[in-house]
Amino acid sequence: MTARPIIIDCDPGQDDAVALFLAMASPADFEILGITAVAGNVPLELTQRNARIICELAGRTDVPVFAGCDKPMRYELITAENVHGKTGIDGVAVYVPGMPLQTQHAVDFIIETLLAADDGSITLVPTGPLTNIGQAISREPRILPKIREIVLMGGAMREAGNTTPSAEFNILEDPDAAQIVMHCGRPLTIVPLDVTHQVLVSRQRLEQIRAIGTTVGDAIVGMMEFFNRFDSIKYGSDGAPLHDPCTIAYLLEPGLFEGKMCNVEIETGSPLTRGHTAVDFWGVTGRAHNANWLYSVDADGFFALLIDRLKA
Ligand code: RIB
Ligand code: CA
């Protein structure tokens, strides 16, 4: 089996970090062409730094890291230090990474890499606001045939919004970019809160990760102990939802998830409901199906996969 070429676009973020660790722990499955950072959980200068720290912790400084957009396409940047801490990856020591930041802008890297690739060959895995992806598509639509599929974390249907009553953070941050992605015409799988709220980092699961006893395992435990505090109180749950790694897990073991082809549209203007994912789950509009909307996951199977890969 040849490794799938992927680009991970992210805003680390403790859960982005676990997604990156899972991907980097699976070199037979993924050829990570690059990690592109976007402003989101914390400003861009922190997300790009955090991505490099994560690569160094994983011993994967071979993976190039690029800085992308520092604000959404239209609206002002919303950050989430209340969830992720001032560093964006509170729970692990931050420092000035030794590995360099690539000088090329992330959007230029995405465009250049895709234009040079074969049709249908590159998988995009966005786990933050979709600004870099939306900008790349709008600037250079010729990249579209090169995309094998997009698997993104964002949105909510049966779950309420986590940032406004109507909207999940990634989509709220840049609804214009999200709408561009919804209508890109390429195979699209969406991993919403409806799924990620089923994968909670409970105390038992945290101890299983701690038992791995590696640098990466210890870093994840530290970050999850911080990440758990906010959501456990907010949701009254035993642990926080592990959002972003679900994208990588889906690519590794899609059978862990259930989804349905639907029409998904984004509210881009309303001050009240901006960022809402309008999911036509029952096909009442007759609008074209543009996304595989995931709605359930085998949570124990997800954590077994995660821990198995981290041990390897
Ligand atoms: O709403 C959850 C998403 O927003 C996750 O990707 C988290 O990292 C934040 O970016
Ligand atoms: Ca994220």
Q: State pLDDT tens for residues 39-93.
A: 999 999 999 999 999 999 999 999 999 999 999 999 999 999 999 999 999 999 9
pLDDT tier at 21, thresholds 50, 70, 90: very high
What contacts 218, CB < 8 A, 6 or more positions away?
Answer: 210
Q: pLDDT tens across 138-177, in order? A: 999 999 999 999 999 999 999 999 999 999 999 999 999 9
Q: Which domain holds residue 81?
A: 4-310
From 151, 172, 244, 277, the mutation candidate for ligand 1 (largest count of ligand atoms within 8 A of CB) is: 244
**pLDDT tens, residue by residue, 183-229:** 999 999 999 999 999 999 999 999 999 999 999 999 999 999 999 88
Q: Tell which residue, 209, 149, 180, has the closest CA to residue 72.
A: 180
Q: Does the Cβ of 8 fall within 6 Å of ligand 1?
A: no
Asked if residue 191 lies in contact with residue 247, where contact means CB atoms within 8 angstroms, the answer is yes
- Count of the separate structural domains present in the chain: 1
CATH number of the domain that 178 lies in?
3.90.245.10
Q: Is 130 in the pocket of ligand 1 (CB under 6 A)?
A: no
Q: In Å, how far are 71, 183, 241, 308 from 83, measured between CA atoms?
A: 19, 30, 12, 27
Burial 45-55 (b: 16+ CB within 10 A, else e): ebbbbbbbbbb
The pair of structure tokens assigned to 158 is 């049966």
Ligand 2 center–CA 236 separation, angstroms: 22
Per-residue model confidence (pLDDT) at position 82: 94
Q: Is 243 a catalytic residue?
A: yes
**Residue 297's pLDDT is what?**
98
Is the Cβ atom of 40 under 6 angstroms away from ligand 1?
yes
Residue 230 pLDDT level (bands cut at 50, 70, 90): confident
Residue 180 is inside which H or E element, if any?
helix 175-182
Select from 90, 153, 228 the residue to mutate for testing ligand 1; criterion: most ligand atoms less than 8 Å from CB: 153
Taking only the tens place, the pLDDT of each residue in 287-301 is: 999 999 999 999 999
pTM listed for this prediction: 0.98
